[in-house]
Amino acid sequence: MEALAERLSQLDSHVQGVVRVVAFYDTLMRRRVDLPALARASAGLAECVAGIRLHGTGWTIRIAPDGREASAPPQPMSLTVPITLDEEELGTVWLERPGSPGALDDVLLDRLALAVASAVERYGPARTTMADPALVELAISSDTDEAARARALRLLGFAADLPLRVLAVRSQAPLGKIGTLICPGRPVKAAPVGDMGVILATTIDPERIPAGVRAGIGAPDSPDHSWRQARTALRFTTRREPVIHYDSLGALALLAEIPQDAARGNPDVVALVRVAARLEDLEILDAYCATGSLRRAADLLHMHHSSVARRLEQIGKTLGIELTEPAGLIRARLALTTRRLIDGWPAAEAGR
């Protein structure tokens, strides 16, 4: 009889534990927390590293019991459970517990997998990089109120309070492919908006942007601010410098604020029209302004430096600028940059 009573007390204790775990995850699901919050809560409850991986996006997170991303190398998974939605396996949740699994680990992971599936269904991240353009536009528009922006970001798979980088892109390559390349293993969304592409990501690797792509990159900020910065940076891109961070522009970003009529009427900018009549001269001037050196410009153009010097002398006379003087070089650089920012810059010149 005493043995039976002991077994019943142990059973009651286990059932109470199961009820507490179920109630814990029911509360999280009612609060509609995102995936990182689910991982943090699970790691704290289990008192060991908890992980979530989504197959379609490659998104993976490992959280230590202290609520931070696990920095130690992954340990063997003591228990894993698949994440399923509509009979499709979306990913996996797991615990990295030293030794044998805990008595309630299977219940914890079952409920975590269910909560993750619910969050993915509600917020994303979806299985594809491409997103609804209307939803992306809602997230980046300066006219969107913060409540609507937060909801759009959740539907896109991003936490509303997480700084995002926005890229403004012009390319013949598929946007989804570019997004996957520059942000591997992390949530990233892309969509065409107006006459350009938009990519949203928490982190990016600019070195992975494919050749032939023009991209302006906004600072990690609210999506509307980052989008405005990205569009500005895109306007400064050239064939030689196809990817520009807004942060790298510094005071040059002020040139984008100059009214178009004022820019068109500036004498140095007007004089560039005469230089642009010979595309070779425009190329020489651009190379010289980019390098600040006759010899480096000649190397860049695969020309003899004496030939470059002769052409620059003639170009300087056309512009009315002494290009070999520091002030003249600055004027030429500013004129070239300002001219590129003017709407209607001829296609043959815009490629430079």
DSSP for 125-161? --SSSB--HHHHHHHH-TTS-HHHHHHHHHHHT--TT
The CATH code of the domain at 2-123 is 3.30.450.40
Task: Give the model's pLDDT for residue 123.
Answer: 62
Mean pLDDT of the chain: 86
Phi, psi of 200 (to 5 degrees): -115, 135
Q: What percent of the chain has pLDDT over 90?
A: 44
Q: What percent of the chain has pLDDT over 70?
A: 90
Domain 258-350 fold is Arc Repressor Mutant, subunit A (1.10.10)
Task: Give the model's pLDDT for residue 269.
Answer: 92
Task: Give the model's pLDDT for residue 300.
Answer: 86
Task: Give the model's pLDDT for residue 3.
Answer: 46
Task: Give the model's pLDDT for residue 187.
Answer: 79
Helix (H) or strand (E) holding 288, with range, is helix 279-291
Task: Give the model's pLDDT for residue 253.
Answer: 94
63 bridge partner residues: 50, 69
Task: Give the model's pLDDT for residue 34.
Answer: 85
Q: Which residues of 71-110 are buried (b: 16+ CB within 10 A; e: fewer)?
A: eeeeeeebbebebeeeeeebbbbbbbbeeebbebbebbbe
> Domain map of the chain by residue range?
2-123, 133-256, 258-350
* C-alpha 217: how far from chain center: 8
243 bridge partner residues: 215
- Confirm if 111 and 79 have CB atoms less than 8 A apart: no
